[in-house]
Chains A and B, each alone.
Chain A
Amino acid sequence: MHALLHRLQLLPSTVLVIRGDALLTEDAVLEPDDEIEIRSVISGG
């Protein structure tokens, strides 16, 4: 997952990475068929 966030130019502390009902930590290994949601945590204006 670290590589994915790096490729998307996202800092780990600015997004939740969700697989199913669980959050993923940076060292999680993603499988080819995994469906994940990347949700920004930043709000405000």
Chain B
Amino acid sequence: MKCTRCGEPAEIALRAHNASFCRPCFLFWFERRTLKQIENEAMFVPGQKLLVAVSGGKDSLALWELLSRAGHDTLGFHLELGIDGYSRQSLDRCQAFAEARGLRFEVRSLATANMAVPEMASATHRPPCAACGKAKRYYFDQAALEFRCEVLVTGHNLDDEAARLLGNVLRWREEQLFRQSPVLESRHPKFVRKVKPFFLASEYEIAAYAFMRKIDYQVQECPNAAGATQLTYKRMLDDLEHESPGSKSAFVGDFLRRGRANFAEPASRSDGGTCTNCGMPAFHELCSFCSLRREVERKRTDRNPGREKN
């Protein structure tokens, strides 16, 4: 197989793009395409301070690599989740990545805050991914504010977006369909714009990019992901993509071009509310994370009444 651009032996074949690339041509093509998406969607411009949410996995570290290579002003931010065995490795990957490249990096820890993901899931009897997602949104918003970043950048990829879109369509979640976009503008002075530069990059392309750039990412999947509905959707979409290459990007791309406009922006539930506990934006007295925190603390007290009294 030959490289479509230069004719040298190819290292990667992309059926969705009807193209094959050698390593230098793939790196050039992938980086140029991502930077073009950032420009086309007006995500951010050079000079803006970006908070890059990094998990230690391929997507976020590949994105951090690409943005820092392009000269963007980035600050990596990692939320340590308190999942035994997995979280330590994830943090180590992020730290090593930042140190090797001389990039600025900040960490916050759920375990230190007595809100480790397993404990939240156990206390609330809800799936760990629900508590984890809520904690990430909260800490990312807070970090963007604390470190005065103008844009929050995440590594969500085409497969994530296609699986999410499929789930939203299957249940016709209209509010979620409106909010599914590579750019979410801030709706509160304490929130920043959120963007997803990899929204049309497949997991395969990103993994290949991370490998070629010699990024030591966390290959092990989160132990809580097993059995997650999103993975079921991804498998179904992979089968579809195999039979009909380009289906995922058409599904997501055409939805954004033609479908999303049919879903109205939901009426704001309350503007300008502030959490009485942490000062972050809130629809009620407490923001959703402080509400969760209170629920966990209450369950902890119920389980160990003596410990709280002592």
Contact present for A43 and B203 (CB under 8 Å):
yes
Pair B204/A13 contact, Cβ less than 8 Å: yes
Complex Cα spacing A22 to B11, Å: 7
Tell me if A42 counts as interface (CB < 8 A to partner B).
Answer: yes
Q: Considering the chains assembled together, what is the distance between the CA atoms of A26 and B13 in angstroms?
A: 8
**B124 nearest CB across to chain A (Å):** 17
- Nearest chain A CB to B116's CB is how many angstroms away? 17
- For residue A31, CB closer than 8 A to chain B, the reply is no
Tell whether B107 is near chain A: CB-to-CB under 8 Å.
Answer: no
B73 within 8 A of A: no
Question: How many residues does chain A have at the interface if contact means C-beta atoms less than 8 Å apart?
Answer: 19
- Are A45's CB and B222's CB within 8 A? yes
* Distance between Cα atoms of A39 and B13 in the complex (Å): 16
User: Within 8 Å of chain B (Cβ to Cβ): is A36?
Assistant: no
State the interface size on chain B (CB cutoff 8 A).
36
Contact status B225-A41, CB under 8 Å: no
Q: Which of B20, B228, B241 is in CB contact (< 8 Å) with A44? A: B228
Docked pose: A44 CA to B212 CA in angstroms: 22
Which chain A residues numbered 1 to 31 have a C-beta less than 8 Å away from chain B?
11-14, 16, 18, 22-27
Of the listed stretches B39-47, B136-144, B231-239, B275-283, name the one at the interface; the rest are far from the partner chain: B231-239
Near A by CB (< 8 A), chain B positions 206-231 give: 206-208, 211-212, 219, 221-222, 224-226, 228, 230-231
11 contacts between A and B (CB under 8 A): A12-B13, A12-B242, A22-B11, A23-B11, A23-B208, A23-B211, A24-B11, A25-B10, A42-B238, A44-B159, A45-B231
A interface list, Cβ under 8 A from B: 11-14, 16, 18, 22-27, 39-45
Q: A13-B242, A39-B207, A41-B206 are in contact. List 15 more A-B contacts (CB 8 A).
A: A12-B242, A13-B15, A13-B202, A14-B204, A16-B208, A16-B211, A25-B1, A25-B20, A42-B159, A42-B203, A43-B203, A43-B221, A44-B228, A44-B231, A45-B228
